[in-house]
Chains A and B, each alone.
Chain A
């Protein structure tokens, strides 16, 4: 849920509460005002009636009579000193066929020496209709409020929050190795301004750290080559010496192999760094068919030596824009991978159509997520002497040239597809 929708919801909920409470208060206040008004009217009416009775010439009247509507006078024996009583009452209305609310004033008066009880009534507004009236107007008000709020909400989202969504967009598309710093649009909202400033600072700091780290790795990789070359050459000389005993030879051989492995690893890392740094600017149109043929020719011998069954099914000759060196590395890595991770007397299938190049090889079944093999140093347990970087390099190259790569495993078939 959007922040603004949420705040609006809270606003509306609290407004609803306030409206309910307000309705009750409104009702009570209105009622008491009406009561007061009616009471005053009753008292005034009483005065009028008393005057009428005083001046009126009536004698020997009934014990109960009415001089006008809603005024009833009857003789009583009650105590004349009692104060007037005003209270609410319900009187049956035969017309409406229901009880209607009235306010009535009861007073005891001596008229012409006889005590009488005078009851004066004033009809009240039905509280039901009052409540209804209040409720309707409040609901109408509330609806208007919702509409206005929604409208304002929309306007705010569309205008006020623009810088925020812009910043979000930039962050989404931000890549740490992009050459320029992250820039945000100017905004006059303080919170957004602050957010943008901090984001800018943070990303440039991260970028700086990343750059330093990368530079360090690259330097290490480059500087390591020369000492490695020295180690290798010294070991080779040592190997040639006549005096070396077999067990010493084994020690030398182990060191030599380790140095070799380090050197391979290092070269692969340097290549990865170079791809990341986009140090392969040259791009040419490459026929995938030719490229695959060329590398198959190169690997055919290895395929034969491992007695692998090679099935080629190339029905089209799509072209891709690639750096030629990286194109070579890409295809060579994929084919060598299919040979390397194959099984005894297994098979390799190479399918090429207009849209995709698919390389299928038999291999060991694994329940690992195949996409993991694109990560650095993820490798099959059995191949300790492989660098674990081959597929990372493939992945990097594909990413650089926007080629979609898929890796799936079906039973013992490993399937890698490049979708152009």
Chain B
């Protein structure tokens, strides 16, 4: 899977590139509008991640160019401005998702995966990992083909863990994924803990293995054999 990253801050760009490459994506990065424009004409990407403010233009123009070329690429905006108008305009002209900086890399990864699932399988998709099977559209999860009853948040959590399997996910990242801006809630870490505990129990009761490891003081890791 090919991803183009358009981000003018080199250190940030490098981080994202590293993380995505570790995830097994083919990731190319450019630092400005001119180079981005060249690339999208020459190559076809599955996903384009664009920063709105670029030194020589705006990321919104890249989205317009992509749409003008009827590119099938999924588009995710990353912006430091967190301006509602940018978000609305970006989504209106055809971007698929919007993330405001600073965001966490697992979050970006989860968004890319969700976007790719929506694009590639036209909604008919399943995620299979070892003995676990997930149907994101119907919000159903199965262990060895036996459905487990998960709450909405538990399902979201499982999906997020699976999207970033074998990665350490901090409590903050998980809480932010589940509750977005309301991470400010002091007790959100307890809530994360409660959800993880319940999820583990439900998987175990259904006869599954214990995939979730606690990384003491930091967070959790979904380990696949």
A302 pairs with B218, CB closer than 8 A:
no
Residue from the list B80, B84, B183, B217 in contact with A264, Cβ < 8 A: B183
Stretch in contact with the other chain, from B7-15, B61-69, B119-127, B133-141: B7-15
> What is the bound-complex CA distance between A94 and B218, given in angstroms?
123
Contact B11 A230 (CB under 8 A): yes
Asked if A339 is at the interface of the complex by the 8 Å CB criterion, the answer is yes
B71 within 8 A of A: no
**Cβ of A257 under 8 Å from chain B:** yes
A 244-270 to B, binary, CB cutoff 8 A, 1 in contact else 0:
001001101100110110011001001
Report the bound CA distance from A18 to B139 in whole Å.
100
Whether a CB of chain B sits under 8 angstroms from the CB of A228 is yes
**Chain A at the B interface: mostly helix, strand, loop or mixed?**
helix
Q: Are A302's CB and B191's CB within 8 A?
A: yes
Q: Does A236 lie within 8 Å of B217, measured CB to CB?
A: no
Does the CB pair B15–A234 fall under 8 Å? yes
Contact check, A240 vs B184: say whether CB atoms are below 8 A apart.
no
Q: Mark B17-51, 1 if CB is under 8 A from A, else 0.
A: 01100100000000000000000000000000000
As a 0/1 sequence over residues 210 to 225 of chain B, the CB contacts with chain A under 8 angstroms (1 = contact) are 0000011110000000
State whether A233 and B217 are in contact (beta carbons under 8 Å apart), knowing that A239-B170, A340-B186, A386-B184 are contacts in the complex.
no
Contact yes or no, B184 A387, CB < 8 A: yes
Decide: A339 and B185 in contact? CB cutoff 8 A. yes
- The proximity string for B residues 137-161 relative to A, scoring 1 for CB distances below 8 Å and 0 otherwise, is 0000000000000010100000000
Within 8 A of B (CB), among A62-91: none
Instruction: Name B's A-contacting residues (CB within 8 A).
Output: 9, 11-12, 15-16, 18-19, 22, 80-82, 84, 101-106, 151, 153, 167-168, 170, 172-173, 179, 181-188, 190-191, 194, 215-218
Residues of A within 8 A of B (CB): 222, 225-226, 228-234, 236-237, 239-240, 246, 249-250, 252-253, 256-257, 259-260, 263-264, 267, 270, 298-299, 301-302, 305-306, 325, 332, 336, 339-340, 383, 385-387, 390
Q: Given contacts A229-B9, A237-B19, could you give 14 more A-B pairs where the C-beta distance is less than 8 Å?
A: A226-B12, A229-B101, A230-B11, A233-B15, A236-B106, A237-B18, A239-B170, A246-B216, A249-B217, A256-B170, A301-B151, A301-B191, A302-B188, A305-B187
